[in-house]
Amino acid sequence: MLYREAGDFKTTYVADSQTFPLKLDRIGFWVTLAVAWLVIPFVINDYWASSLLVPFLIYAIAAIGLNILTGYCGQVSLGTGGFMAVGAYACYKLMTSFPDVNIMIHIVLAGGITAMVGAAFGLPSLRIKGFYLAVATLAAQFFLVWLFNKVSWFYNYSASGQINAPERFVAGVAVTGPNTPAWAQYLICLFFVTICAVIARNLTRGTIGRSWMAIRDMDIAAEIIGVNPLKAKLTAFAVSSFFVGVAGALFFAVYLGAVEVGEAFGIQKSFLVLFMIIIGGLGSIFGSFAGAAFLVLLPVALKWLGVDVMGWPTDLVAHFQLVIVGALIMFFLIKEPHGLAQLWRLAKEKLRLWPFPY
């Protein structure tokens, strides 16, 4: 009854092309944003930040990035972990080489460096498609991890081969290093999530997004009607890698603090982010958030249910988790390839007519 578009008339093209055409959606969006910015920072504690909110926000950025490439432009990538590693190591090198520059700038620059690396690894996409491209990006994943292990310049010749985030401050508050308060960790991630989501949304609803989707849906027709495939594919790789790089930088500097590349940015990470966008919904910004929330929340929820409530041994619960994630992936691929975002969309469509479906 409440959620409907009847009477919500658009009189300008600006109003018609806005992100949330329905008033209730707009209100919901601003309320969510207000809660995220004004309420959560005051109530957050270490547990919530480190086990749920911060990883959720960081994975959301990575998922938006991969969704631009795979969901919008149709180029399957298994190199997300590798590109996150590029962001992390770029951020580390920048932090240690230019300690006086603000960390926020370093994170953005790390994204920019990853964008260039991503565009370079995107070059094969001009020739190959589908599975073959996935294999090429898989090569990028293994090559990048190998590179960061092998070349000690990247980890400043440290004996352990790890990189450790030195303490850096934004407006006098530590945001990296061991003394970071939970709310600062949360806020810096939220800041980047907000900006990334807005940029991603603007790009995908405009010209460049259309050229990505045209390439995804029918690349030959797209080229014949005037889409430059080289530009569309490489910008998709670059923009996607930018987001993934920012996520990698945050993951290293703000969330983990110390990183060993094979462990933090291995192939599992690539698959995890890919699962997020499959479960969340390919070609949807909301789906990226939903998928990231789901896969971050699932292990925590299962652990709580299995270990704390049922009293099962931890390893049993961990195995169950693998089974459940696997089953869910299959379920979504078969039943709803557009993921949670599509379920949400359908629910909204039904809700518009409720309670009089005809």
Partner 1 sequence: MKQNAVIDENTGYTTEDGRKIGGVMMDLRNITLRFGGVEAIKNISFDIREGEIRAIIGPNGAGKSSMLNVISGFYKPQEGEVYFRGEKRPPLKPYQVARQGVARTFQNIALFEGMSVLDNIMTGRMGHIKSNMLSQAIWAGKAQREENENREAVERIIDFLEIQAIRKTPVGRLPYGLKKRVELARALAAEPDLLLLDEPMAGMNVEEKEDMSRFILDVNDEFGTTTALIEHDMGVVMDLSDRVVVMDYGRKIGDGTPQEVRNNQEVIDAYLGVAHD
CB of 57 to partner 1, least distance (A): 20
26 binding partner 1? (CB under 8 A): no
In total, the chain counts a number of residues equal to 358
* Cβ-based nearer residue to partner 1, 204 or 270: 204
Chain residues 233-272 in contact with partner 1, contact rule CB under 8 A: 235, 239
* Dihedral angle sign, alpha carbons of residues 332, 337, 340, 343: negative
- Selected from 220, 309, 323, 334, the binder of partner 1 by CB under 8 A is 220
Instruction: Give the whole-angstrom CA distance, residue 180 versus residue 241.
Output: 27
122-130, 204-212, 243-251, 293-301 -> range binding partner 1 (CB under 8 A): 204-212
107-115, 121-129, 213-221, 264-272 -> range binding partner 1 (CB under 8 A): 213-221
Unique residue bearing structure tokens 């092309």: 17
* Cβ-based nearer residue to partner 1, 51 or 194: 194
Q: Where are the alpha helices (DSSP H) in 35-179?
A: 40-43, 46-48, 54-66, 80-97, 103-122, 130-150
CB of 71 to partner 1, least distance (A): 10
11 binding partner 1? (CB under 8 A): no
CB of 341 to partner 1, least distance (A): 13
- Selected from 27, 173, 221, 347, the binder of partner 1 by CB under 8 A is 221
* Cβ-based nearer residue to partner 1, 64 or 256: 64
* Dihedral angle sign, alpha carbons of residues 350, 355, 357, 358: negative
- Selected from 22, 203, 318, 343, the binder of partner 1 by CB under 8 A is 203
14-22, 112-120, 173-181, 319-327 -> range binding partner 1 (CB under 8 A): 14-22
Instruction: Give the whole-angstrom CA distance, residue 348 versus residue 85.
Output: 38
CB of 162 to partner 1, least distance (A): 35
Instruction: Give the whole-angstrom CA distance, residue 340 versus residue 287.
Output: 6
Coil vs helix vs strand at 358: coil
68, 205 contact by CB (below 8 A): no
> 236-248 burial string, b = 16+ CB within 10 Å, else e?
bbbbbbbbbbbbb
211 binding partner 1? (CB under 8 A): yes
14 binding partner 1? (CB under 8 A): yes
List, in order, residues 6 or more apart from 141 with CB less than 8 Å away.
Answer: 78, 79, 80, 81, 82, 267, 270
Residues that bind partner 1 (CB under 8 A): 13-14, 16-17, 199, 202-203, 205-208, 210-211, 213-214, 216-218, 220-229, 235, 239, 283
